[in-house]
A and B are shown apart, each in its own frame.
Chain A
Amino acid sequence: MNKVAIIGKGHSRFGDRSDVNLAELSFEAIQPALDASGLTAKEIPYMALGSMGVWSEEPLPAVVIAEYCGLTGAGLVRCEAACASGSAAVFNAYSAVMSKQTDLALVVGAEKMKQIDTSTVMEMIGRAGYYMWEFENFGMTFPAYYALHAVEHMEKFGTTEKDLARVAVKNHRYGAMNPVAHLRHEITVEKALNSNVIAWPLKLYDCCPITDGSAALVLASESKVKELKIEDPVWIDAMGFASDTANISKRENYVGLSASVKAAKMAYNIAGISPIDVDVANVHDCFTIAEIMAYEDLGFCEKGDGAQMIRDGETEIGGKIPVNLDGGLKAKGHPIGTTGVSMLVELTKQLREEVKPTRQAPMKNYVALAHNTGGTGHYGFVSILRR
């Protein structure tokens, strides 16, 4: 099997990107990724796109993006794993390089969610829980799904609404320092606690925004890394994957996501590391409670101790394990299919110590972890990167 390296990366500005269409937005990430790799579009044999679509007009975004960016002729696929579509695309391209099917592959995440109104976006995402049993009659929304988790976590472990607010405050603080983030303002615990209720107990500042954005990575085999004289590649050491029931009622409990636990175990096992070896992590904080559960599910602390980690500042720079130093989904934004790719762009920068010193994690082992979930914890991917 080939070792797989990240040799180029690109990232658009996240936010309301009504100034560009999906292909133009993708170009903003793809061209810098190619430039950084010393490659041109026609040298790319395969492209995997993470995109959920429905909020923008093109049903076949991969072909539209490929033509616009000069990639026509390459093998193409659009991967769907809800909010983990980006990781599904990474896994698809990573597998193609690892299995020696190709020496080079491009991964793109692209989503334009602001082309339709907010309540229709809520509708389309809400339908993606389990339409037949949870939406048709009960109108579930994604804030509501994560609220079900928050309520049980609060009851069982004493997690408070203030703890949830603390996650938002941290991620907004780092997001404010990230030039590509959607929400670049700091907030206070009071502001978060006083914001409008979306699905009790989750409030506006517990929820990630609806965002447009793109990200891209060029993946290469070890021989291609040598051939292209890439001096400082970042390696994808492992990718773990898992899933959970479609019906949320069939889960064991609502204090964590078992797909995250399984995917993490698989990734740690393949990489031969344990959670304490990780220098920096990006976790899937679509809602504040999701970040607290992720600390526990990924083994950064014991189950139930997640809130204590945020209270003690353990996931800030200077703490045990800095998390979401790009602002996370909460402040950087969450263009659904882009997120998994964006996480790896950020972690590649962190590993190469390229970000502003104020949001750079200190590196000891040069190991980073990305945690990307989709649906109501339906899909789980965990990736380990190493420089």
Chain B
Amino acid sequence: MNKAPSLESNRSLIITYNLPISKTSKFWDELKQGKVYATKCKKCGKLVFPPVADCGPCGSSEIEWTELIGNGKIVTFTEVVVKPASFSEEPSYIVAIAKLSEGVKVLAWLSGIKKEKLHIGMKVKLKAKVFSDKKVAYEFVPA
């Protein structure tokens, strides 16, 4: 990495975080069932994605769950060619932000189409995604 004299420390540190989801567990459970949910504040009526357990702006914890139909249009997108270390095994991936018919915007991978065929305004569908190791996420596919 460098030519200047340096001590190469062998005290490596591997950090793996546990990500707490107990307050939004419904979101992750529903993904396994193929459904994508958002949350809605009962007080101000605002629909929010990603889901939250509390509404910061109005200070309320009265939240209800709403399933997203998932019809959206691309707002912007990119293709990640130079990847971070923990994604180094992945082929280049397309990330898009789309606005859904419900009004919220979502950032996710867009699969099943080449970058050259994409344009802003293109219709996409937001879908739940279950990996072979049972990990869950969500993605866009062309509508």
Contacts and interface: CB of A to CB of B under 8 A. Distances in A.
Interface stretch (A34-42, A143-151, A291-299, A321-329): A143-151
Contacts of B45: none
Interface in A14-73: 16, 18-19, 57
B81 A123 contact: no
Nearest to A254: B76
Most buried by A among B88, B90, B95: B95
B63 interface: no
A120 B12 CA distance: 13
Given A248-B107, A249-B49, A254-B75, A114 B1 contact: yes
B77 interface: yes
A273 interface: no
Interface in B58-113: 75-88, 90, 93, 95, 97, 104-109
Contacts of B19: 132, 136
Given A120-B85, A249-B105, A139 B120 contact: no
A139 B87 contact: yes
B137 interface: yes
A18 B6 CA distance: 8
A151 B78 contact: yes
Contacts of A134: 107
If over half of B's interface residues share one DSSP class (helix, strand or loop), that class is named, otherwise mixed; here it is: mixed
Most buried by B among A16, A139, A141, A248: A139
Interface of A: 16, 18-19, 57, 114, 117, 119-120, 122-123, 126-127, 132-141, 143-144, 147-149, 151-152, 155, 196-202, 247-250, 253-254
B2 interface: yes
Contacts of A249: 49-50, 97, 104-107
Most buried by A among B4, B76, B90, B93: B76
B3 A18 contact: yes
Report the 10 A-B pairs with minimum CB-CB distance, sorted nearest first. A18-B2, A147-B78, A139-B87, A123-B84, A18-B4, A137-B137, A123-B85, A119-B85, A152-B76, A249-B105
Interface in B1-56: 1-4, 6, 9, 19, 49-50
Interface in B112-131: 115, 120
A355 B17 CA distance: 48
A144 B4 contact: no
Contacts of A19: 4
A119 B87 CA distance: 10
Interface of B: 1-4, 6, 9, 19, 49-50, 75-88, 90, 93, 95, 97, 104-109, 115, 120, 137-138
Contacts of A138: 93, 95, 107-109
Contacts of B2: 16, 18, 114
Contact of B82 (A57, A136, A141, A155): A141
B76 A126 contact: no
Nearest to B99: A249
Contacts of B93: 138-139
Nearest to B79: A200
A114 B4 CA distance: 12
Given A137-B137, A139-B90, A248-B107, A199 B82 contact: yes
B124 to A, nearest CB: 14
A60 to B, nearest CB: 16
B107 A133 contact: yes
Contact of A148 (B76, B81, B86, B109): B76
A143 B95 CA distance: 12
B109 to A, nearest CB: 6
A120 B13 CA distance: 13
Contacts of B90: 139
A128 to B, nearest CB: 11
A200 B114 CA distance: 12
7 contacts: A119-B83, A122-B82, A122-B85, A138-B93, A139-B93, A248-B97, A249-B49
Contacts of B106: 249
B78 A126 contact: no
A139 B50 contact: no
A148 B77 contact: yes
Nearest to A200: B79
A198 B97 CA distance: 19
B86 A151 contact: no
A385 B77 CA distance: 38
Contacts of A247: 50, 107
